[in-house]
Amino acid sequence: MNERNQSGPGSSEATPFPDALYDGHLTLDHVVSPGGASSRDRYEAVARALRDVVAPRWLSTERAYQERGAKQAYYLSMEFLIGRALANNITNLRAEPGWAAFCRRHGLDPLEILDQEPDPGLGNGGLGRLAACMLDSMATLGIPGTGYGLRYREGVFRQVIKDGEQVERPDHWLARPDPWEVARPAESVEVHLGCSFEMDKGVLRLIHGRPSILKGMPYDRPIVGFGGSTINTLRLWAATSEALDFVRISRGDFVGAQVDPITAETVTLVLYPDDRSVRGRALRFLQEYFLVACSLADIVRRFRRTQGDWLALPDKVAIQLNDTHATFAVPELMRILVDEAGLDWEAAWDLTRRSLAFTNHTLLTEALERWPVRWFELFLPRQLEIIYEINQRFLDEVRRHSPGDEALVDRVSIIEEKSERQVRMAHLGIVGSHSVNGVAEVHTGLLKSRVMPDLAALFPERFQSITNGVSQRRFLLLANPGLAAVITRAIGDQWIVNLQGFGSLAPLAGDSSFRADVARAKQQAKLRFIDWLRRTTGQQIDPDTILDTQAKRFHEYKRQLLNALRIVILYQRLRENPELQLPRRTCLFAGKAASGYQVAKLIIQFINRLGATIAREPSVRDRLAVVFVPDYGVSVAEHLIPASDISEQISTAGFEASGTSNMKFMMNGALTVGTRDGATIEMARVVGEENLFLFGLTAPQVDETRPAYDPRWHYENEPETRAALDLIGSGHFSPEDPGLFGPLVDLLLRDGDYYLHLADLRSYCEVQEEAGRLYADQAAWTRRAILNIAGAGPFSSDRAVMEYARRIWGVTGSGMA
């Protein structure tokens, strides 16, 4: 595949732009004359023309994998936050020059066309975006990697801010046909369920004792590797069902009766907008099993096409389970191997464990899914039998290992024997896999010491750590072309496919002309973002301020409230002392709160009210502003991250598994204000703690502090803390409803401040002052920014994927050094 010419990264020359194909699609697909076409029509025609260019390479990629009998990696995830495809594919096909000339020739505004593409919100946050970055890296490295997900007809909700509050709007991203996807009806699969169900006013009502069949219809999306020579596949399943089979029904043969199409489609109607827990959501239970059943049926079907011997499965197939959401794969693969392939239990179990690997992305116990046994009894009786057998054999092993320790047996059992018996999906994933990994060193350490100590002690060889990464092609080359050009001019463009080359930027931190280039690129990115924000939201930002950004899902442990508290303190300082010389700062917030997460939504409202209050005060507003950027997602991140000077990574230590926005800000030259948590610890090790602004308790200190922690001590002994909390409690930011933000004060003072905001507030304010002082010295600031960029090498998803490929999957890629 890539043996063709090795000139420059991604080993293929720039792709000419397919004008003729465009004209064809415009007139033939949309039957409009060029003059009569809408921007959406033009977008679709461009996308289809590019897909035509990609199609033969897509086929030959697959053929090459088959020919070399390559071992394949399959990434099973309930979320793929892929972002818009057009700009990404133009970049990875190296078709920018062609695209620019094409737009000139057709008198088109490239941004206008690019803006037509909906941003598929097929994910909530970090987990979903990591999956997308992994796919981009697998394709770029020429690794035979396929993503399996669900084709939600509605992605994560669109966030609208009304009177400072988050309002959720449906995301009809498929309202118009999507030009990138290819329906594959011939490759549909049947999914059998032990009972049937119907939707009754949005609630799933089970129909006991009537087995049913769902149909999984696959839709394939091209994943274009950089250079355009490898095109991998993201296969998204849509649930549907055959028309009701009246002949069968007339024979009273309800066994295998189809669920009616409308009900069937509800299974993949919408992504659960929750990244905490989905307890009690039977439809989510069905979605997860549906994903696994369709994907495993497809994987086995592909395997059998070339392999006659089942025992070769782990040599040809590596399946990565993206968190507990995919661990139905353990009993489902066993069902296929025992019931369909007819293998004996031991052989099937060996193949299953050697083919499956599990990644954990969170330490939050409520996010470690447990599903009621009775749902298995109804929907998946055979899988439950298998789970019982797996658990029985596992616990026998445990009893052999620790005779008499029934407490241990209870703790590690896959079945939680509480009032409502539940299946612990994380335990199932760990017992049924040959590899379990955390997504950053500190996270994996806590996984083994705090969350899964017993299982880690039982299977020490299975636990390993692979720190996350992000795609520098999407989050630097595409999102920040100005800075990318400055870097390429300095060190060439190999970094696009090998970010380790960034190290050679470090010496340039001392080079004033290079610093000037980097500072100019940052200023350009700022102005571009400010212009975009004004055009899309009407909000004005002063470019001569520090853009200080916290962009991530709203969650108490991510402590957007801590950020807001220090802004209240800053606000009070400026009110009390108008002469106070402080670098002017714009504090930007972006992120969605799970629609049912009231506290997080109240924090969003508070931040918006804080911003509105400040904006009404002439004595303060020219030195401090708070701006909420709505509807955060991949496309907004591409505007916001390149423009930011400061990256806020302020989670309570021990709670952020890894973080990935921290890496995106770093490679775009923002300086990190953060706690020693997740991957930020590893970033500080590479760049040097002195080049970040680290503060607060470490994870062990959090554990030590918690037992005797009294948040009121800070209220009693820190005047600014007290004044800030009193101001919030007084209704100053909500005069029409003085008690509105009382619950936030209670959270901190009355309810124990579980995430230790007040414990870290002082040191947080101090490093923010330090950052403000350094910003006044632009040369020093930019020098540090360059050192952070230079240290971003290890945080590419290419490095992460190569670790998965070598240490877990045992696959190789033509692009892997």
The answer to whether residue 761 forms part of the interface with ligand 26W (CB under 6 A) is no
Q: Which of 135, 156, 217, 367 binds ligand 26W (CB under 6 A)?
A: 367
Enumerate residues 702-731 that contact ligand 26W by CB under 6 A.
none
Q: Does the active-site annotation cover 71?
A: no
The answer to whether residue 439 forms part of the interface with ligand 26W (CB under 6 A) is yes
Tell me, residue by residue from 120 to 149, as one string, x for binding to ligand 26W by CB under 6 A and - for no binding. ----xxxx--x-------------------
Find, among 723, 697, 714, the residue nearest to 748 by Cα: 714
Quote the least distance from Cβ 617 to ligand 26W, whole Å.
Answer: 36
The answer to whether residue 674 forms part of the interface with ligand 26W (CB under 6 A) is no
Q: What is d(CA 150, CA 219) in angstroms, rounded to the nearest whole number?
A: 9
Identify whether the C-beta of residue 255 lies closer than 8 Å to the C-beta of residue 196: no
* Strand 356-359 with 257-258, pairing: unpaired
Identify whether the C-beta of residue 263 lies closer than 8 Å to the C-beta of residue 257: no
The answer to whether residue 638 forms part of the interface with ligand 26W (CB under 6 A) is no
Q: What's the DSSP call for residue 259? A: P
Quote the least distance from Cβ 78 to ligand 26W, whole Å.
Answer: 7
Under 8 Å CB-to-CB from 303, ≥6 apart: which residues?
313, 316, 317
The answer to whether residue 369 forms part of the interface with ligand 26W (CB under 6 A) is yes
The answer to whether residue 660 forms part of the interface with ligand 26W (CB under 6 A) is yes
Quote the least distance from Cβ 346 to ligand 26W, whole Å.
Answer: 33
The answer to whether residue 274 forms part of the interface with ligand 26W (CB under 6 A) is yes
* Strand 165-169 with 158-162, pairing: antiparallel
Tell me, residue by residue from 678 to 697, as one string, x for binding to ligand 26W by CB under 6 A and - for no binding. x-------------------
Token output for 52? 């035509």
Q: Which of 468, 563, 734, 768 binds ligand 26W (CB under 6 A)?
A: 468
Q: Which of 11, 15, 232, 277 binds ligand 26W (CB under 6 A)?
A: 277
Quote the least distance from Cβ 290 to ligand 26W, whole Å.
Answer: 15
Backbone angles phi and psi of 121, in degrees to 5: -85, 55
CB-based contacts of 279-288 (< 8 A; 24+ apart in sequence): 279/366, 279/369, 279/370, 282/197, 282/204, 282/206, 282/375, 283/204, 285/371, 285/375, 285/379, 286/193, 286/197, 286/204, 286/379, 287/78, 287/150, 288/78, 288/325, 288/326, 288/328
* Strand 422-424 with 189-193, pairing: unpaired
Find, among 733, 770, 721, 760, the residue nearest to 569 by Cα: 721
Choose the catalytic residue: 57, 325, 552, 609: 552
Choose the catalytic residue: 233, 660, 675, 782: 660
Identify whether the C-beta of residue 483 lies closer than 8 Å to the C-beta of residue 518: yes
Under 8 Å CB-to-CB from 418, ≥6 apart: which residues?
none
Tell me, residue by residue from 77 to 116, as one string, x for binding to ligand 26W by CB under 6 A and - for no binding. ----------------------------------------
Q: Does the active-site annotation cover 553?
A: yes
The answer to whether residue 362 forms part of the interface with ligand 26W (CB under 6 A) is yes
Q: What is d(CA 501, CA 179) in angstroms, rounded to the nearest whole number?
A: 36
Enumerate residues 13-32 that contact ligand 26W by CB under 6 A.
none
Q: Does the active-site annotation cover 552?
A: yes
366, with CB counted inside 10 A (0-12, 13-18, 19+), is exposed
The answer to whether residue 428 forms part of the interface with ligand 26W (CB under 6 A) is no
Of the candidate spans 212-220, 275-283, 566-574, 683-691, the one that interacts with ligand 26W by CB under 6 A turns out to be 275-283
Q: Which of 181, 275, 548, 645 binds ligand 26W (CB under 6 A)?
A: 275
User: Alpha carbon of 543 to those of 531, 630, 637, 680: distances in Å?
Assistant: 10, 19, 18, 27
The answer to whether residue 796 forms part of the interface with ligand 26W (CB under 6 A) is no
Quote the least distance from Cβ 425 to ligand 26W, whole Å.
Answer: 10
Of the candidate spans 218-226, 360-368, 783-791, 803-811, the one that interacts with ligand 26W by CB under 6 A turns out to be 360-368
Based on CB atoms, which residue is closest to ligand 26W, 362 or 549? Answer: 362
Quote the least distance from Cβ 685 to ligand 26W, whole Å.
Answer: 17
Quote the least distance from Cβ 413 to ligand 26W, whole Å.
Answer: 21
Q: Does the active-site annotation cover 660?
A: yes
* Strand 165-169 with 415-416, pairing: unpaired
Find, among 272, 444, 432, the residue nearest to 363 by Cα: 444
Backbone angles phi and psi of 216, in degrees to 5: -105, 115
- H or E element that contains 235: strand 231-240
Choose the catalytic residue: 558, 585, 592, 784: 558
Based on CB atoms, which residue is closest to ligand 26W, 452 or 749? Answer: 452
Of the candidate spans 334-342, 448-456, 572-580, 651-659, the one that interacts with ligand 26W by CB under 6 A turns out to be 651-659
Find, among 703, 784, 698, 708, the residue nearest to 752 by Cα: 708
User: Count of residues binding ligand 26W (CB under 6 A)?
Assistant: 23
Token output for 648? 């806020």
Q: State the catalytic residues.
A: 361, 552-553, 558, 660, 664
Q: Which residues bind ligand 26W (CB under 6 A)?
A: 124-127, 130, 274-278, 323, 361-362, 367, 369, 439, 468, 656-660, 678
